[in-house]
Amino acid sequence: MALKIPRCVRCFVACELKTLPSVSGEAGSLKLTLLEVPVFACAKNHTVPVHRDFMLWLIQQIRALEAQFAAGREQGMIFKKHLCGECGKELAPKPERRQAFPYELKYEELAPFKLQIEMPLYKCTGCGKEQIRSAGELHGHVAGAVVGINDGAGFPHSG
């Protein structure tokens, strides 16, 4: 696929391919950061994604990574408890620390860039394994954090 170089919707001049050093978005306990992500930008740095489906593509990439996270199981309808995904003992009520997990992504023929998925890790009171509290908590915040990235990058709202 060849990328089509767009015109800036505000200045009507041709954009250039650039990279953003760092842009983050947060939703709930999830923080997503892109490092050196390629974008199109005009001379005044009005930015647009490199493709109109880029943000959707990004969500799909993160969705595909979700299963790699060791996660606890949520129990209870009203009073939620979180149990270790390994041994079933209760997880500590407060997170041990936050950790950013780095990944490399590549969109079409563009240079690769970095994605960091940052979540709080909870320690199991039984086996000591660190894990995110629940897979649903990560899953449920992905779209919201990507909206934060969209806004942080200065992209127009679309899609």
Q: Pick the binder of Zn ion from 10, 52, 81, 106 (CB under 5 A).
A: 10
Of the candidate residues 7, 44, 52, 63, the single one contacting Zn ion (CB under 5 A): 44
Contact window for Zn ion (CB under 5 A) among 49-57, 77-85, 95-103, 150-158:
77-85
Distance CA 29, CA 52 (A): 28
Q: How far apart are CA 33 and CA 22, in angstroms?
A: 7
Interface with Zn ion includes 154 (CB under 5 A)? Answer: no
Q: Chain-centre distance of CA 58, in angstroms?
A: 8
87 part of the interface to Zn ion, by CB under 5 A = yes
Our finding on whether 81 is near Zn ion (CB under 5 A) is no
Q: What is the nearest approach in angstroms of Zn ion to the Cβ of residue 120? A: 17
- Nearest-angstrom CA–CA distance, 124 and 104: 29
Is the Cβ of residue 84 or residue 153 nearer to Zn ion in the bound state? 84
132 scored as a contact of Zn ion (CB under 5 A): no
Among 26, 66, 74, 86, the residue binding Zn ion under the rule CB under 5 A is 86
Q: Which is nearer to Zn ion, 73 or 89 (CB)?
A: 89
Site for Zn ion in 88-107 (CB under 5 A): 89
Tokens of 2: 């060849």
Shortest gap between Cβ of 85 and Zn ion (angstroms)? 8
Of the two residues 18 and 129, which places its CB atom closer to Zn ion in the complex? 129
Among residues 117, 124, 135, 142, the one that binds Zn ion under rule CB under 5 A: 124
DSSP 8-state assignment for residue 94:
S
